[in-house]
């Protein structure tokens, strides 16, 4: 039975359409607290030109942003601010942890520096490096676009899966000294974009 | 009175101080109780009108040290650029000195920082709150007996998951 489709009409799924729109107009929230922020600015500037990937509209209001880029070390006085800004962003939203400091604390293993923001907020992409080059950050954004295209849904069902609700590996593997673990130990399954599970490599 | 030597002699004549010199820099160790009087003399008579810094040294386990804390005041004369290093040695449990905010307004935040980092109490300070660490922090982290990696304060936050946002 032939279906008459007029010219210039494409049939697709609504989810795919939403993903296509979302992934090509990511609006970053620059949470730049340290030296990595300079590379973040360079990424947005003309030489590296993040506009080629549709992510040039940096907004300093969390209400207008899709992807939070945490660039730099986060100290314990800043962490409540970071969490608040993350909660103020609207779904769908993603988080890129840029650089060694945001991902692990880096060389700053001191009393006031948070040892990896993924202990306290969800992270989708990790960018290794100190600081990562703009190309690496662009690669992370491209990988994030692939991730959105692959698993995104119109209603954001993918954020509600059990895997996404799983506590971060750092919290499970490194319980805080002198405290009973908040989360029982569970084996780690794939699905989250950790540097070692991301075969594309983020940089 | 203009030279550093004159100022040191003036202080020596009236107070029980210890003076030493290293590469042209003079250090005057002042007893805790006469700090305000010495500072007033230096500011008003000897023209050391600029307080450059207030900071502190923890001498715990330091080779040859007899006192626990050395409170450091760096003074300068803004016309001759002469400098003077005033030090007050402190030992637990008497970690209180008189504030110099009455003499130099600029000492306000510097003394707050010393309080925050070393737990030195400044009597007469108008607003002695923590300046760098969060208010609910309980330790004084630059003391040598505080562990470098803290006592778990940096992990003491709720973890936000995807469905909480
Ligand atoms: S990872 Fe390196 S460049 Fe980035 S914030 Fe840390 S120290 Fe700075």
Domain residue extents for chain B: 4-138
Are residues B13 and B45 in contact, defined by beta-carbon separation less than 8 angstroms?
A: no
A140 lines ligand 1 (CB under 6 A): no
Is A80 touching B (CB cutoff 8 A)? yes
3-state secondary structure string, chain A? CCCCCCCCCCCCCHHHHHHHHHHCCCCEEEEECCCHHHHHHHHHCCCCCHHHHCCCCCCCCHHHCCEEEEECCCECCCHHHHHHHHHHCCCCCEEEEEHHHHHHCCCCCCCCECCCHHHCCCCCEEECCCCCCHHHHHHHHHHHHHHHHHHCCCCCHHHHCHHHHCCCHHHHHCCCCCCCCCCCCCCCCCCCCCCCCCCCCCC
Residues of B in Cβ contact (< 8 Å) with A76: 134, 153-154, 156-157
Contact (CB<8Å) B154/A86? no
Q: How far is CA A10 from the centre of its chain?
A: 31
* In contact, B134 and A77? CB cutoff 8 Å: yes
Categorize the per-residue pLDDT at A82 as very low, low, confident or very high, splitting at 50, 70 and 90.
Answer: very high
CATH number at residue A48: 3.40.50.12280
Cβ neighbourhood burial of A66 (10 Å; 0-12, 13-18, 19+): buried
For ligand 1, say whether the CB of A34 is within 6 Å of any of its atoms. Answer: yes
- Residue A186, pLDDT > 70, answer no
Write out pLDDT tens, residues A148-164: 999 888 888 888 777 77
The number of CA neighbours under 13 Å toward the Cβ of B159 is 20
Ligand 1 atom at minimal distance to the Cα of residue A107: 7
CATH, range B4-138: 3.30.460.80
Quick check: ipTM above 0.90?
no
Would residue A119 count as lying in a domain?
A: yes
For residue B45, give the DSSP letter: T
pLDDT at A190 over 80: no
- The predicted pLDDT at position A168 comes to 59
Q: How many Å apart are CA B141 and CA B118, to the nearest integer?
A: 7
User: Do residue B146 and residue A76 have CB atoms under 8 angstroms apart?
Assistant: no
| Residue A175 in this model has a pLDDT that exceeds 80 | no
Interface of A with B in 162-181 (CB under 8 A): 164-165, 167-168, 171, 176-179
Number of domains observed in the structure of chain A: 1
pLDDT tens for B88-143 read: 999 988 899 999 999 999 999 999 999 999 999 999 999 999 999 988 888 899 99
- What percentage of chain A carries pLDDT values higher than 70? 80
Instruction: Show residues of chain A in contact with B148, CB under 8 Å.
Output: 109-111
Predicted TM-score of the model (pTM): 0.81
> Is the per-residue pLDDT at A127 higher than 50?
yes
Mean pLDDT within B23-36: 92
pLDDT for position A78: 92
The one-character DSSP state at B164 is G
**Paired sense of beta strands A67-71 and A94-98, if any:** parallel
**Ligand 1 mean position, distance from CA A172 (Å):** 25
End-to-end CA distance of chain B: 67
Residue B152: pLDDT band (50, 70, 90) is: confident
Q: Dig out the tokens for A59 from the structure.
A: 């907004």
Search chain A and give the residue with CA nearest B142: A111
pLDDT at A114 over 70: yes
Instruction: Give the three-class secondary structure for B34.
Output: helix
Residue A164: name the closest of B84, B114, B164, B6 by CA: B164
Ligand 1: atom nearest CA of A100 is: 1
The domain in which residue A72 lies consists of 28-165
Question: Is A21 within a domain?
Answer: no
Task: State whether residue A87 sits within 8 Å of chain B by CB.
Answer: yes
At A29-58, the pLDDT tens digits run 999 999 999 999 999 999 999 999 989 899
Burial of residue A42 (CB within 10 Å: 0-12, 13-18, 19+) is middle
């Amino acid at each position: 039975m032939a279906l008459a489709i007029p010219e210039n009409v494409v049939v697709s799924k609504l989810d795919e359409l939403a993903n296509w729109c979302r992934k090509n107009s990511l609006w970053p929230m620059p949470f730049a607290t340290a030296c990595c922020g300079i590379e973040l600015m360079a990424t947005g500037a003309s030489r590296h030109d993040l506009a080629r990937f549709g992510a040039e509209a940096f907004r300093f209001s969390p209400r207008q942003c899709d992807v939070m880029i945490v660039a730099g070390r986060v100290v314990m006085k800043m962490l409540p601010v970071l969490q608040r800004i993350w909660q103020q962003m609207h779904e769908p939203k993603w988080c890129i942890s840029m650089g060694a400091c945001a991902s692990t604390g880096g060389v700053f293993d001191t009393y006031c520096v948070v040892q990896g923001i993924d202990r306290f907020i969800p992270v989708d992409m990790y960018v290794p490096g100190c600081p990562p080059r703009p190309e690496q950050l662009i690669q992370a954004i491209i990988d994030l676009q692939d991730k959105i295209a692959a698993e995104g849904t119109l209603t954001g069902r993918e954020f509600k899966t059990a895997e996404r609700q799983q506590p971060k590996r750092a919290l499970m593997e490194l319980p805080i000294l002198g405290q009973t673990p908040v989360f029982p130990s569970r084996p780690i399954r794939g699905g989250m974009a950790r540097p070692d599970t991301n075969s594309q490599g983020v940089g | 009175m203009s030279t550093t030597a004159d100022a040191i002699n003036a202080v020596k004549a009236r107070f029980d101080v210890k003076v030493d010199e290293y590469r042209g820099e003079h250090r005057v160790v002042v007893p805790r109780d006469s700090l305000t009087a010495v500072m007033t003399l230096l500011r008003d008579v000897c023209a050391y009108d600029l307080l450059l810094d207030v900071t502190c040294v923890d001498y715990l386990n330091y080779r040859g040290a007899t006192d626990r804390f050395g409170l450091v005041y760096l003074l300068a004369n803004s016309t001759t650029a002469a400098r003077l290093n005033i030090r007050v040695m402190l030992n637990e449990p008497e970690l209180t000195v008189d504030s110099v905010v009455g003499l130099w307004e600029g000492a306000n935040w510097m003394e707050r920082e010393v309080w925050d980092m070393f737990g030195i109490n400044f009597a007469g300070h108008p607003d002695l709150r923590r300046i760098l660490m969060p208010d609910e922090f309980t330790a004084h982290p630059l003391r040598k007996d505080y562990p470098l990696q803290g006592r778990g304060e940096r992990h003491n936050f709720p973890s936000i998951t995807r469905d909480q946002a």
